[in-house]
Amino acid sequence: MLTGYRFKKSLHDLIRGIRACKDEEATDKYVRSAISECRQEVLSQDMDVKAMAVLKLAYLQMFGHDMTWASFNVLEVMSSPKFAQKRIGYLAAMQSFGVDTDVLMLATNMLKKDLASSNHLDVAMAISGLSNIVSPSLARDLAEDLVKMMNHSKPYVRKKAVLVMYKIFLQFPEALRTSFPRLREKLEDPEISVVSATVNVICELAKKHPKNYLPLAPQLFNILTTSSNNWMLIKIIKLFASLGPIEPRLKTKLIPPITNVIQTTTAMSLLYECINCIVSGGMLSKEDEQLATMCVGKLRIFFEETDQNLKFVGLLAYNKIVLTHPLLVAQNADVIMDCMDDPDLSIRERAVELVVYLVNTDTLFDVVKRLMLQLIPQSRDQVLPEHYRVEVVRRILDMCSNNTYSNVTNFEWYVAVLVDLVKITEGVKDIGAEIGVELQNVAVRVRSVRDYAVGASARMVTDKDVMIKNPGVLKYAGWIAGEYAIYLDNPEIILDAMINIEPQTLSDDTAAVYIQAIPKIYSKYAGTDRIPWTHSRAQEILQLTENIVAYLEKYSTSMDIEVQERSVEFLELFRLIALAIKERPDDDSDLTPPALISQAMPSMFNVWELNPVSAKAQKRIPIPEGLDLDEEFNAPVVYSESEDEEEALLREQIMKQQQLNSGKNINSVAASTTAKAKSNKPKSTRDGASSESEDEEEMERRRQERRRRQAEDPFYILESDKVVSKSRKQRQNSSSSELSGPDDPMKNEKLDIDSIPIMKLEIASIAAPVTKKKSKRHRTQPAHVEIATEETFGDENAATVVHPDEAAQRRTSARATSHKKSILRVDARGLENYDLDSPDEDEADRKEVEKFKAEILEARKKAAKAAEEEVRATHIVVKKKKKKAKVVKKVKKREEKNDTLTEKPAEEEKTDEKTEEKAEENVEGQGDIVKT
């Protein structure tokens, strides 16, 4: 009989209704009404109506509507005995349930029941649903049931059971230890689909801890040599790529079958995995020339196909092979260069990474030109992404600076390239600083091109467009202009450009460099001998000095400590220079500049030339014996907050008394004779010592009283006596040192500067200049360029001295690797450090718990037995007392009555015996109840 619920909307009606809505507002209104109807339908007793409501909610959930409120109703549909309804429930659960869903704890018994069903479709459906909703508690409770399903009679169920075990391992890694033997058996399953599923699971597990699966190598090798399933071979080869670095002996066994697959297969995916296994598995060394030649030759086929994916994976493989066999990869430079102009940016990026290893003296100019043309947009619509432009610039810098500029023969060309990169990359963040570092490096190392680099830097400093669009390079351009100011043609223009910049325009780092560079350029311009010192020249320098003073005054109150310190130091210097110029006569009688300009300032900057220093030179200096870098020079002064006003007032009185004892009038004592000072010194010392001892006793008394009050106060936190006493002692020492009078003997001693030892730091001599090999082509030999090498300490090949704290910090940073989430949101961090070879840490705990349970059970049995015996003994004593009383009464009656009544007591005795037997049976039954 049809009920009213049969006429409710079905899923098809819901879909038609949503499609019939014309606008978004009508759609929202219709969906809200449908959800309200579903709220009523899920409360129905008719399971068909409830299942249809859950199905509609599952459909709406895909549009982003929440259905977590119906979790319990979904669980009800999952427990339906009908397969069609059960399937709807599992579908809704897979979409809406999560690890934190509350009703999952109610699903354990239901899932166990479905896994034990005689219908293999119910079992398979339960396994599929569990793979999406598994939680740590479900994984722990159902792991044993799923291991049993791996031996199911149906291959369909075995395959699903093997696959779901991976999700179980993610949530409950301990299950891997118990299920590993069964998982190993499935590699020899007669059904190929089950074997393929097992290989997939092991391959995923081996990504986290491949050492656990080395014992499976013989079985996997057998599958590799006998199977013809390409997809399973791909998984096995990936697995061997993970095992290769752990077990180098696999190379001799794997090379022949993998080489055979490379030469015979036509599947590009399998071909790439074979080559990748050889390269990534540590099977390709520098001596394997023939194997590398075969791999490089096969990879060239990838670039002849139209599939862009093949080009991408081919470039990935080339990037790995080029590390060991760059010459073989360089033979395919034509296809790699073509990839640099590919419309696909991912292929371009891989080609740019690879081309760094292929450039030489002959090809550097062409490659850099092609890369720079890519940075120039061909049209307004064609704008390359910022990350790709940054990557191209970095590769250009890497190619040119590789091996201390061994490929660069014309450094003026290289400086011009750097200047062009500054203009091309306008608006790109953080790349200007990298270009500036490279320009600074060239200016320091290559003396022959230093004047050209200084000119380029000067143009950047005066270019307003660079300041606005690429300000990161100004820090290094300003440093070059200041350090090598002797190469500037118009230093006054550079000074004018630097001091006319508003403070908010530059960053703090750039401003600090500018403040340091301005005195250097000023020294070169004002202290030159080529311009005679006249009155007009003095006024010009005075005006420039006052402008610099005004500029430095702006930065003297900067929040950055480096900027503030440099500006204040040079501000005082330029004020003295301005005062010295003003003190000169107004006429041309004195034609010499002030000594501050002509001698003092040049001696500050022009004495030594700055040479490049190796980054490891500081670490090569050995730590002297007896020097503990962790020990503090002066112990930190810890001021106790427990000192009250009373003690502070007393301390102030003591200080005043000591001042009076040491000398009431310091000026009069200083003016007196030495003999009088010597005669007064012992007396004042004695008086001061006596008063100090008395005051110390008073302070100690008050201190003890204060500590007693603090100990009785429950709201006061007591401090360590050691810290308090240490801080008090330090303050007393500091106060006594400050209050030492003019007769202090240490005050009259002179500091012998010549006696201070000086350690001579021997710097290795500059290495021989790098010479260029002659090219095989007939061309003009490039000019000899001298490149300054880095100065270092001791032997270049000596071991670097690393401080223990620094080494620990390096190890910590190496361990702190970031866990990148996969696209499928699979968190497998629990399997990374899980070792099957290590002893089971929980086995001892489980044994101890089982032992404890056995002891409790034994104690309960003993207690039940004792209670049983006690009840039985009590019952027997009561029966004996009753029986004795009855016998006495019977004897009396027998004496009173006739002998004819003697048979009746005998019958009563028989009845009593039967009653006693029944009572004993009842006692035994009570004992059994007590045991239970």
Backbone angles phi, psi at 2, to 5 degrees: -80, 135
Give the residue-averaged pLDDT of 233-240.
92
Does residue 739 carry a pLDDT above 50?
Answer: no
- Mean pLDDT, the chain, whole residue set: 77
CA 229 vs. chain centroid, Å, equals 40
Which pair of tokens denotes residue 29? Answer: 């209104």
3-state secondary structure of 404: coil
Mean pLDDT lowest among 42-51, 570-579, 665-674, 778-787: 665-674
Does residue 713 carry a pLDDT above 80?
Answer: no
CB atoms within 10 A of CB 75: 19
Q: Model confidence over 342-397: pLDDT tens digits? A: 888 899 989 988 988 888 888 899 999 988 888 887 666 667 888 888 899 999 99
Does residue 926 carry a pLDDT above 70?
Answer: no
Instruction: Give the orientation angle of helix 155-171 with respect to helix 175-185, to 10 degrees.
Output: 150
pTM beyond 0.75: no
Does residue 15 carry a pLDDT above 90?
Answer: yes
874-879 contacts at long range (C-beta below 8 A, 24 or more positions apart): 875/919, 875/920, 875/923, 876/920, 876/923, 879/916, 879/919
Give the residue-averaged pLDDT of 217-231.
91
DSSP states along 489-536: S-HHHHHHHHHTS-TTTS-HHHHHHHHHHHHHHHHHHHT-SSS---HH
Q: Model confidence over 279-298: pLDDT tens digits? A: 988 888 888 889 999 999 99
Give the number of C-alpha atoms closer than 13 A to the C-alpha of residue 515, restricted to the C-beta side: 31
Q: H or E segment at 588?
A: none
Q: Model confidence over 678-690: pLDDT tens digits? A: 444 444 444 444 5
Percentage of residues in the chain having pLDDT higher than 90? 37
Q: H or E segment at 326?
A: helix 326-330
Q: How far, in Å, CA of 273 to CA of 236, rounded? A: 10
pLDDT band at 123 (very low <50, low <70, confident <90, very high): very high
* 457-to-393, 394, 485, 515, 707 alpha-carbon distances in Å: 19, 20, 11, 16, 69
pLDDT band at 546 (very low <50, low <70, confident <90, very high): very high
Backbone angles phi, psi at 613, to 5 degrees: -120, 135
Q: How far, in Å, CA of 342 to CA of 339, rounded? A: 5
Give the residue-averaged pLDDT of 803-816.
41
pLDDT band at 545 (very low <50, low <70, confident <90, very high): very high
pLDDT band at 761 (very low <50, low <70, confident <90, very high): very low
Q: Model confidence over 70-113: pLDDT tens digits? A: 999 999 999 999 999 999 999 999 999 988 888 888 889 999 99
Does residue 428 carry a pLDDT above 60?
Answer: yes
- Residue 763, beta-bridge partner list: 793
Does residue 670 carry a pLDDT above 60?
Answer: no
- Residue 862: predicted pLDDT: 82
pLDDT band at 854 (very low <50, low <70, confident <90, very high): confident
Mean pLDDT lowest among 307-321, 504-518, 689-703, 745-759: 745-759
Does residue 38 carry a pLDDT above 80?
Answer: yes
Backbone angles phi, psi at 763, to 5 degrees: -100, 135
Q: How far, in Å, CA of 4 to CA of 320, rounded? A: 70
pLDDT band at 228 (very low <50, low <70, confident <90, very high): confident
- Residue 553: predicted pLDDT: 92
Which is higher by pLDDT, 726 or 344? 344
Q: H or E segment at 165?
A: helix 155-171
Give the residue-averaged pLDDT of 760-776.
40
DSSP states along 643-702: --HHHHHHHHHHHHHHHHHH-S-HHHHHHS-HHHHHHHHHHHHHHHHHHHHHHHHHHHHH
- Residue 446, beta-bridge partner list: 787
Question: CA nearest 571: which of 593, 556, 589?
Answer: 556
- Residue 360: predicted pLDDT: 87
Q: Model confidence over 473-506: pLDDT tens digits? A: 999 999 999 999 999 988 999 999 999 888 888 8
- Residue 805: predicted pLDDT: 43
Q: Are 775 and 361 in contact (CB under 8 A)?
A: yes
3-state secondary structure of 613: strand
Q: Model confidence over 875-920: pLDDT tens digits? A: 555 455 555 555 556 555 665 654 444 444 444 444 455 455 554 4
Residue 827 — left, alpha, or beta (φ > 0 → left; ψ -120 to 50 → alpha)? beta
Sign of the CA dihedral with 606 first, then 608, 612, and 614 last: negative
Question: CA nearest 388: which of 357, 433, 330, 342?
Answer: 342
- Residue 760: predicted pLDDT: 45
pLDDT band at 592 (very low <50, low <70, confident <90, very high): confident
Question: CA nearest 223: which of 250, 189, 264, 176?
Answer: 189
CB atoms within 10 A of CB 921: 10
* 390-to-341, 398, 819 alpha-carbon distances in Å: 17, 12, 25
Q: How far, in Å, CA of 147 to CA of 176, rounded? A: 10
- Residue 849: predicted pLDDT: 66
Which pair of tokens denotes residue 625? Answer: 């014996």
Q: Model confidence over 631-663: pLDDT tens digits? A: 877 766 554 555 555 566 666 666 666 666 554
Q: Which letter does DSSP use for residue 788 in this model?
A: P
- Residue 800: predicted pLDDT: 42
- Residue 765: predicted pLDDT: 41
Q: Are 524 and 488 in contact (CB under 8 A)?
A: yes
3-state secondary structure of 763: strand
What residues contact residue 427 under an 8 Å CB cut-off, 6+ apart? Answer: 469, 470
pLDDT band at 812 (very low <50, low <70, confident <90, very high): very low
Which pair of tokens denotes residue 610? Answer: 């700055």
Alpha helix segments (H runs only) across 97-152: 108-115, 120-133, 136-149
pLDDT band at 753 (very low <50, low <70, confident <90, very high): very low
* 926-to-414, 881, 923 alpha-carbon distances in Å: 105, 21, 5
User: In order of start, what are the domains of the chain with their CATH numbers?
Assistant: 1-96 (no CATH), 101-208 (1.25.10.10), 514-610 (no CATH), 617-766 (no CATH), 839-931 (no CATH)
Alpha-carbon Rg for the chain, nearest whole angstrom, is: 47
Give the residue-averaged pLDDT of 236-259.
90
CA 657 vs. chain centroid, Å, equals 60
pLDDT band at 771 (very low <50, low <70, confident <90, very high): very low
Does residue 227 carry a pLDDT above 70?
Answer: yes
CA 428 vs. chain centroid, Å, equals 26
- Residue 604: predicted pLDDT: 85
- Residue 931: predicted pLDDT: 37
Q: Are 552 and 571 in contact (CB under 8 A)?
A: yes
Give the residue-averaged pLDDT of 392-421.
91
What residues contact residue 511 under an 8 Å CB cut-off, 6+ apart? Answer: 503, 555, 558, 560, 563
Does residue 587 carry a pLDDT above 70?
Answer: no
Mean pLDDT lowest among 177-186, 642-651, 800-809: 800-809
Which is higher by pLDDT, 535 or 203? 203
* 459-to-290, 453, 507, 679 alpha-carbon distances in Å: 54, 10, 19, 74
Percentage of residues in the chain having pLDDT higher than 70? 71
